[in-house]
Amino acid sequence: MFSNIFRVGLFVIAVTPASALGWSTKELRLLAIPDEVTDIEMGELHGEVVLTILTPTEVSLFRFASGKVTATKGVGGQQLLLHDLDGNGQNELLLCTSEGVQLMRGTLEAFGDALLLAAGPCDALVAIDDDGVTALAIAGEEGVKIVRPIDGVLSFTDWPTPSPVDLLAAKGKRLIATMVGSNQIFERTALGPVTYPTGGAVGSLTMGPDGWTWTIADQPLLHNTSFKPLELSQVPTSLASADLDSNGVLELVLGYDKQIAIIDGEEETTYPAIHQPAHLSIADIDGDSCPDIAIAENGAGALLIGDCGAEPIPTEPLQLVTEAKVPAIEPSERILLGQEWMEVAVPRGESIAIRLVDAQGWTSRFDALGLPPGLAISNDILHGTIEEPGDYRVTVTLYDDDVPRVPASGFTIHIAEASEEGSGIKVSSPEKQRKYTFFSIRSCMAGVGGAAGLAADQGEWANMSNGYSLAGSPAFSVVCSGGGQTVRWLGGVDTAPIFVFPYGGSAHVLMGILGMEVGNDTAAIGPYASAGLVMATVGLRGVWTPYTSKRGRRHGIDIRAAWIPAQGQAFQAMVLYTWSLGGFHKNKV
């Protein structure tokens, strides 16, 4: 399950503007992460700094030295902990599982059998200093249990809490918990329990520079036990703390949408990252005494390599995107699919990672031909390490609804010898860029459903009491849209019932439709007009197509409401299930 976890080396570089913080990141390495990750923990194990990954069904060990997963075991759980239990300077790997706390035995190359240290469901796990002895605080439905593994003998101390605990944090002898359904945090002290109001359901909890610090769901705020709330620029998705610049003061690390934020005092510095970092772990992986940050979410991960040296020179990362909209990492230079062929120069033996996205920032289905040996595709990442020098022309085709969005485009990779001067990642500047014309047809949709109409028999609402007509029938429609990316024209044909006066009868006719819409490939709305042989309508149309078939075709709902001017007070409604017929691009260079 974890065999696809890889190290994607030095291609994407992320450096932020200068700040007073003595820590920055000099590179971002992408990591493939399983689809259902519950926790990550980075730290020393068996004399080497590693990254451990936990899912509901498996635990895995990733070695930075070799750039691959070297050990897996079919034991899943909720949380990981790397900690020195017996004071010998060697960390142990512990798992918080539904069966209890388990100690993973084995080596860096293979896990052995797990040893059950404490039976009973475990929802959260931390290590604390319990009177000079390392102990484990284990949260479960009955509260918190303190386990002291001394000389192989387990001694238990219960810490009663008002209700089941779902989150724990510890710092030295201090232990704090949040309870299910409670807006309080509960601290264990020598003088008895102390409670603090939280302001809402706690999402993440850690020790910060102003005491215990926590996030609240859907709030762009940090709360703490010093009652000094800090306003944030975004709603955080995760929270951790560490002394990043070794000045004796903790900094807070937060996950944002497509970013990592470092809070130093009241100053916030952000760094590009994966889309929604749900898990954070901080450790020094390369021995330079500067912490590095691992981040993960379901199906994606990254490693921010720390730099505690001189103030960084602002640069920007490089990604391969279509059109002009950028996803998680904001580049200043882009290789745009659909324009001139680009050239990328890479030293032999260096790793690359190129993300392919569409104009809305979503991954599209794509094919790549002409890849050199050593390159592969995983989801939306073109990655690998190239060992054979030469020039490789790679054709990349992105598809939208089974129709090539950008056909016959790509880039040339020049693989240089490592000793060649000037080798490195370089992108030639494009001379021309493809543009959509006003008449470019982006997509066509076919819909089937029903239509209904209501009208006063004499064409006025005052005559409704004297009689009115209802009509209904199946409805069919084919509509194409084109032009700009956000504002588009539309045209097509549809069928609908109409009314024939003065007898109140109805007929079914074919009409042409013209209009405009504002939105994106998933949702759009706009006015339209339709006309046939005996009638015309004006109305409002909304389309929502959030679903994609296995062949890449979008489908969803098309809803319309219209007025029939020629028939006075007559109205029409139409509901269709619509399916993409594909897109056709007539690009002008």
For residues 475 and 576, the answer to whether their CB atoms sit within 8 Å is yes
3-class SS string, 144-188: EEEEEEECCEEEEEEECCCCCEEEEEEECCEEEEEECCCCEEEEE
**Pairing relationship of beta strands 381-385 and 375-378 according to DSSP bridges:** antiparallel
Q: Which of 31, 63, 22, 65 is nearest to 304 (CA)?
A: 31
Per-residue pLDDT tens, the chain, 589 aa: give them: 333 332 222 223 233 333 457 898 887 777 778 888 999 999 999 989 999 999 999 999 998 877 788 899 999 999 999 998 887 888 999 999 999 999 998 899 999 989 998 888 999 999 988 777 888 999 887 778 888 887 656 666 777 777 788 788 888 888 898 887 778 888 887 777 888 888 888 889 999 988 889 998 888 989 888 878 888 989 999 999 999 988 888 999 999 988 899 998 888 888 888 778 899 999 999 888 899 999 998 888 888 888 887 443 333 332 333 222 222 223 223 334 433 344 555 556 655 556 554 444 444 445 555 566 666 655 455 666 656 666 666 665 554 444 444 444 455 555 555 444 433 333 333 333 344 566 777 778 999 998 887 776 654 444 444 566 777 788 899 999 888 767 889 999 988 766 555 445 556 678 899 999 998 777 899 999 988 766 788 999 999 987 766 555 778 999 999 887 766 667 888 999 998 885 443 322 2
DSSP assignment, residue 314? P
Residue 567 three-state SS: helix
Question: Exposed, middle or buried, 507 (CB in 10 Å: 0-12/13-18/19+)?
Answer: middle
Alpha-helical runs (H) found in 385-474? none
Which residues of 467-535 form beta strands (DSSP E)?
468-483, 487-500, 505-519, 523-531
One-letter amino acid at 296 equals A
**What is residue 333's predicted lDDT score, i.e. its pLDDT?**
34
Residue 498 three-state SS: strand
Residue 534 three-state SS: coil
For residues 544 and 530, the answer to whether their CB atoms sit within 8 Å is no
**What is residue 324's predicted lDDT score, i.e. its pLDDT?**
24
Write out the two tokens for 310: 């001189």
CA 130 – CA 43 distance, rounded (Å): 22
Phi, psi of 482 (to 5 degrees): -165, -175
CA 365 – CA 163 distance, rounded (Å): 48
**What is residue 6's predicted lDDT score, i.e. its pLDDT?**
29
For residues 441 and 370, the answer to whether their CB atoms sit within 8 Å is no
What domains sit in the chain, N to C, each tagged with a CATH number? 22-305 (2.130.10.10), 319-431 (2.60.40.10), 441-588 (2.40.160)
CA 102 – CA 96 distance, rounded (Å): 7
Phi, psi of 276 (to 5 degrees): -135, 80
**What is residue 541's predicted lDDT score, i.e. its pLDDT?**
94
Give the DSSP per-residue string, 232-301.
-SS--SEEEEE-TTSSSS-EEEEEETTEEEEEETTEEEEEE--S---EEEEE-SSSSSS-EEEEEETTEE
Beta bridge partners of 555: 547, 579
Beta bridge partners of 580: 445
pTM of the full predicted structure? Answer: 0.54
Residue 577 three-state SS: strand
**What is residue 355's predicted lDDT score, i.e. its pLDDT?**
56
Note the residue count of the chain: 589
Long-range contacts of 502-505 (CB under 8 A, 24+ apart): 502/457, 502/458, 504/455, 504/457, 504/467, 504/468, 504/469, 505/469
Tens of pLDDT, residue by residue over 442-457, are 778 999 998 887 776 6
Residue 565 three-state SS: helix
**What is residue 454's predicted lDDT score, i.e. its pLDDT?**
78
CA 579 – CA 514 distance, rounded (Å): 19
CA 390 – CA 414 distance, rounded (Å): 6
Write out the two tokens for 476: 């069919």
**Pairing relationship of beta strands 153-159 and 319-322 according to DSSP bridges:** unpaired
For residues 241 and 252, the answer to whether their CB atoms sit within 8 Å is yes
Which residues of 4-99 form beta strands (DSSP E)?
7-8, 24-31, 39-45, 48-54, 59-63, 68-73, 79-83, 92-96
